[in-house]
């Protein structure tokens, strides 16, 4: 801080001060202490003693204004009683708060000749009077901007009025106190600024116009120590040599015009270490040299940039394959659609190819997820090797990849692309010592022919891909309106299935199973029917939807409820026959579902008298896919149900992954030969031999047999020759509603009596 003008303005005028020599001595003493940087407390203490020495009988004090400007704090009062100093420390200023409180508040001199009788002291006079103080003159201490810094007060032990010399003396004391306080605070700020400058966690250097280093903090020295060892010059051009030329040109242009600059650049920390920096340059005009100086604030943001890059990668890229992810794909497609750079609508057109690896779950289940991940990496690598450079390849789900092919491509071109992709994946993959041959199901959709936005185009490609899967996999399908209608139909049925039970839309039909030798009904299969909007929906259509959605669990329990009610009615009418109930594999898919299945029968059993639950009249029909799971928990569940009296039948036997080991190791009582085998009997001896083999195998395993789908005389005659115990099919009976079934059983009962 420059104190020269303050010193001149506070020097005493000899024409006004009869104590000129004493005044000069006081000024000299205080100025020397100021220039030596003595602590403020010592300077104020010395000032008080000098004033008291000049005016015998005076006891002086300095009070300092608090930071909030509302209170007075002790500064120096060596000859006032401690009890008094303690009492007034922290007193709030105000127009009627003693002498000092009023002087600080009013910013003017306050003379109190008689404390005992002055209105300013009425609330506080007991404090000074106890200390023997009867008069107090107070002068506000002001800085160069006329702001109050505190007060200088002169106390007396008698009622006393000031003389003209007294007023000059107290004014002089306030000026000296102001000088000491301002200089002390300035030095404090200077020291504080220096500490802050030195301890800043980012680099700061101040340079002249010729890049000479005027001041540098330790962080800057550490940042540039490898090639600026002497720190005499800051070679800015070299330091920023790896930054964008256009950005650095803007920087130097701004500085040349005296403007500050802020931005992000590349900094050369050493010859081999390039860092990301946030740079702020402030232009400072040096009044002494009349030249510009520059304050360079340099923050190493490499860690943040690396973190941002990592976050960007994790947000937009698949960590396993390195391909762009679903989010990035969406953003890219949206940009293509909305881009103003593409002037022709044809340039905004593109095709989306969605690829799904067939039966990928089996790879994870058999080889483990680590090997599955390796397969996905290899697939990504092969796909990248075959696609053109302008094609965006993305992994958008576990085993789903998407290709974005820009431009309007012909159908033949897209088919060629599908063939190229299929061919590159056709070669076996060597994983975990095994050679895997993959096939893919592919769906294609075109923008804007098939859809008008990103979500719709992806949905169209997805529908086409699932259509390819439903047609046997290892093929491709283009999206078309029929696929859209099928998808809308599935969505509609999915929504209506939620309320089908509560709306009483389901019904059980019953197809009798007969003894082929006498035609008598020995059992019946419960078949689920759904009537929606006055039309029956085929089970082949709605059962897969129910299984995919999980609704099949509640539907299965509804079927079992209805079947048990039917058995109860038949028992009441004396017409009891066993019923076969189909069970979806989904109902056994997890341990929780298996426990729920058994818990259902436990709860139902509690509604019956002891030993009366009709387990022996229930046959559960399962599929071969359930046997393939070969889980101990499923075996335990089915064994428990058989122990209670139920029978387990394998439905549609021969259409799945039939295996003798499955039949031998699984708790099964019966097989149902699928109708597809029965209907091929007339096609030749090989088909007859196949049925004969199934019959022979079943008998060897002590399993009963049902032939389903028998519709013609020739089929029935062949079945009779095989001596199969039970037959089901249109040749005898079609599925029928409950009342018709009851009437048929009643008629048979009357006939056999």
Asked if residue 357 is part of any domain, the answer here is yes
Indicate the range of 133-147, 175-189, 207-221 predicted with least confidence: 175-189
Whether the CA torsion 242, 247, 250, 251 is positive or negative: it is: negative
- Residues 743, 632: one domain? yes
Q: Which domain holds residue 516?
A: 501-752
pLDDT digits (tens, 9 = 90+) for 558-576: 999 999 999 999 999 999 9
Backbone angles phi, psi at 405, to 5 degrees: -110, 110
In a domain, 83, yes or no: yes
Asked whether 421 and 440 are in contact (CB, 8 A), the reply is: yes
Q: DSSP label at 504? A: T
Same domain (yes/no): 56, 140: yes
The mean pLDDT of 341-351, rounded to a whole number, is: 69
Domain shared by 257 and 324, yes or no: no
Residue with tokens 């200077």: 190
Q: How confident is the model at residue 727 (pLDDT cuts 50, 70, 90)?
A: very high
The pLDDT of residue 271 is 66
Asked if residue 336 belongs to a domain, the reply is: yes
Query: What CATH number is associated with residue 276?
Result: 3.30.450.20
The pLDDT of 698-708, averaged and rounded, is: 91
* Confidence (pLDDT) at 196: 64
Q: Verify that 265 and 357 share a domain, yes or no.
A: no
Beta sheet of 71-76, edge-to-edge order: 91-92, 71-76, 59-65, 148-156, 135-142, 110-112
> What confidence tier does 543 reach under pLDDT thresholds 50, 70, 90?
very high
* 572 is a domain residue: yes
User: Where among 174, 195, 216 does a domain terminate?
Assistant: 195
Q: Which of 583, 554, 719, 586 is nearest to 652 (CA)?
A: 583
Identify the residue whose tokens are 């202490």: 33
For residues 169 and 51, the answer to whether their CB atoms sit within 8 Å is: yes
Q: How many domains does the chain have?
A: 4
In a domain, 26, yes or no: yes
Q: Quick check: helix, strand or coil at residue 730?
A: coil
CA–CA distance, 137 with 103 (Å, rounded to integer): 9
Q: Which of 31-45, 372-386, 477-491 has the lowest mean pLDDT?
A: 31-45
For residue 489, tell me if it sits in a domain.
Answer: no
Provide the pLDDT for residue 14.
41
Return the ∠ at Cα 643 (arms to 641 and 649), rounded to 5°: 55
* Domain-terminating residue out of 166, 195, 224: 195
Tell whether 397 is covered by a domain.
Answer: yes
Last residue of a domain, one of 417, 448, 479: 479
Q: Which residue has the higher pLDDT, 407 or 10?
A: 407
Edge to edge, the sheet with strand 273-286 lists 213-216, 203-207, 291-300, 273-286, 261-270
> What confidence score (pLDDT) does residue 23 get?
65
Mean pLDDT value across residues 661-681: 84
Regarding whether 531 and 570 lie in a shared domain, the answer is yes
Q: Which two tokens stand for residue 473?
A: 């996999």
Same domain (yes/no): 189, 205 = no
- 561-591 burial, b at 16+ Cβ within 10 Å, e below that, comes to ebbbebbeebeeeebbbbbbbbbbbbbbbee
Query: Residues 292, 220: one domain?
Result: yes
Please write the tens of the pLDDT for every residue from 371-405: 999 999 999 999 999 999 999 999 999 899 999 99
- Structure confidence by residue, pLDDT tens digits, 189-216: 666 666 766 767 788 888 888 888 888 8
Mention every residue, 6+ apart, whose C-beta is less than 8 A from residue 288: none
Give the pLDDT mean for 537-557: 91
Same domain membership, residue 725 and residue 586: yes
- Is pLDDT at 525 greater than 90 in this prediction? yes
Sign of CA dihedral 192, 195, 200, 203: positive
Pair (538, 567) in one structural domain: yes
Give the pLDDT band (50/70/90) at residue 482. confident
Whether residues 359 and 460 share a domain: the answer is: yes
Domain membership of residue 495 (yes or no) is no
**DSSP letters along 169-181, please?**
HHHHHHHHHHHHH
CA–chain centroid gap for 410, Å, is 40
607-651 pLDDT per residue, tens: 888 778 999 999 999 987 776 665 678 888 999 999 999 999 998
Same domain, residue pair 653 and 628: yes
Q: What is the 3-state secondary structure (H, E, C) of 303-349?
A: HHHHHHHHHHHHHHECCCCCCECHHHHHHHHHHHHHCCCCCCHHHHC
**CATH of residue 143:** 3.30.450.40
Identify whether residues 245 and 353 lie together within a single domain.
no
The full DSSP string for 96-122 is TSTTHHHHHHHTS-EEES-GGG-GGGT
Strand partners, 222: none
């Amino acid at each position: 801080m420059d104190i020269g003008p303050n010193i001149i303005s506070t020097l005493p005028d000899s024409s006004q001060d009869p104590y000129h020599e004493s005044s000069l001595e006081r000024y000299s003493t205080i100025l020397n202490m100021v220039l030596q940087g003595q602590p403020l407390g010592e300077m104020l203490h010395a000032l008080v003693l000098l004033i008291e020495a000049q005016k015998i009988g005076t006891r002086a004090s300095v009070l300092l204004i608090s930071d909030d400007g509302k209170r007075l704090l002790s500064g120096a009062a060596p000859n006032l009683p401690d009890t008094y100093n303690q009492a007034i420390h922290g007193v709030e200023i105000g127009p009627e708060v003693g002498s000092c409180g009023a002087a600080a508040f009013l910013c003017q001199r306050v003379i109190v000749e008689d404390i005992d009788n002055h209105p300013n002291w009425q609330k506080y006079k007991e404090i000074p009077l106890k200390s023997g103080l009867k008069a107090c003159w107070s002068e506000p201490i002001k800085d160069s901007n006329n702001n109050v810094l505190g007060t200088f007060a002169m106390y007396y032990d008698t009622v006393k009025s000031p003389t003209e010399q007294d007023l000059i003396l107290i004014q002089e004391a306030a000026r000296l106190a102001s000088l000491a306080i301002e200089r002390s605070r300035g030095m404090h700020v200077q020291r504080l600024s220096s500490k802050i400058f030195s301890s800043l966690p980012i680099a700061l250097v101040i340079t002249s116009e010729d890049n000479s280093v005027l001041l540098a903090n330790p962080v800057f020295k550490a940042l540039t120590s490898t090639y600026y060892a002497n720190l005499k010059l800051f070679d800015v051009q070299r330091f920023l040599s790896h930054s964008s030329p256009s950005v650095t040109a803007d920087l130097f242009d701004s500085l040349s015009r005296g403007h500050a600059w802020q931005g992000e650049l590349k900094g050369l920390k050493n010859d081999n270490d390039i860092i990301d920096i946030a740079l702020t340059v402030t232009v400072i005009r040096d009044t002494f040299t009349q030249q510009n100086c520059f304050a360079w604030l340099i923050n190493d943001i490499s860690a943040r940039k690396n973190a941002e890059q990592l976050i960007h990668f994790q947000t937009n890229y698949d960590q396993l394959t390195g391909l762009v992810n679903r989010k990035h794909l969406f953003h890219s497609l949206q940009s293509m659609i909305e881009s103003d750079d593409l002037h022709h609508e044809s340039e905004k057109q593109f095709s989306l190819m969605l690829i799904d690896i067939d039966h990928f779950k089996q790879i994870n289940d058999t080889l483990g997820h680590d090997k599955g991940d390796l397969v996905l990496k290899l697939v990504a690598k092969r796909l990248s090797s075959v696609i053109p450079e302008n094609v965006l390849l993305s992994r958008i789900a576990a085993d789903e990849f998407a290709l974005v092919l820009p431009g309007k491509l012909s159908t033949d071109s897209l088919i060629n692309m599908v063939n190229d992709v299929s061919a590159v994946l056709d070669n076996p993959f060597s994983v975990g010592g095994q050679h895997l041959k993959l096939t893919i199901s592919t769906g294609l959709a075109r923008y804007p022919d098939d859809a008008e936005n990103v979500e719709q185009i992806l949905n169209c490609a997805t529908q086409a891909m699932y259509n390819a899967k439903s047609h046997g996999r290892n093929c491709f399908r283009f999206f078309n309106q029929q696929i859209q209608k099928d998808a809308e139909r599935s969505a509609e049925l999915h929504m209506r299935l939620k309320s089908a039970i509560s709306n009483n839309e389901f019904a059980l039909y019953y197809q009798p199973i007969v003894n082929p030798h006498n035609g008598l009904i020995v059992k019946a299969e419960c078949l689920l029917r759904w009537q929606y909007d006055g039309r029956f929906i085929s089970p082949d259509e709605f059962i897969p939807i129910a299984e995919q959605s999980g609704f099949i669990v509640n539907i299965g329990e509804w079927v079992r409820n209805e079947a048990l009610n039917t058995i109860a009615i038949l028992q009441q009418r004396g017409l009891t026959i066993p019923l076969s109930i189909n069970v979806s594999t989904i109902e056994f898919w997890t341990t929780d579902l298996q426990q729920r299945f058994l818990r259902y029968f436990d709860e139902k059993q509690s509604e019956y008298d002891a030993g009366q639950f009709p387990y022996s009249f229930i046959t559960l029909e399962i599929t071969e896919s359930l046997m393939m799971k070969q889980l101990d928990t499923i075996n335990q569940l089915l064994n428990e149900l058989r122990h209670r009296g139920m029978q387990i039948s394998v439905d549609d036997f021969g259409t799945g992954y039939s295996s003798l080991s499955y039949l031998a190791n699984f708790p099964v009582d019966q097989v149902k030969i699928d109708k597809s085998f029965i209907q091929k009997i007339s096609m030749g001896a090989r088909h007859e031999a196949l049925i004969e083999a199934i019959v022979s195998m079943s008998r060897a395993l002590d399993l009963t047999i049902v032939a389903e789908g028998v519709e013609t005389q020739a089929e029935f005659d062949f079945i009779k020759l095989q001596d199969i115990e039970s037959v089901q099919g249109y040749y005898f009976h079609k599925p029928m509603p409950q009342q018709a079934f009851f009437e048929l059983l009643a008629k048979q009962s009357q006939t056999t009596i």
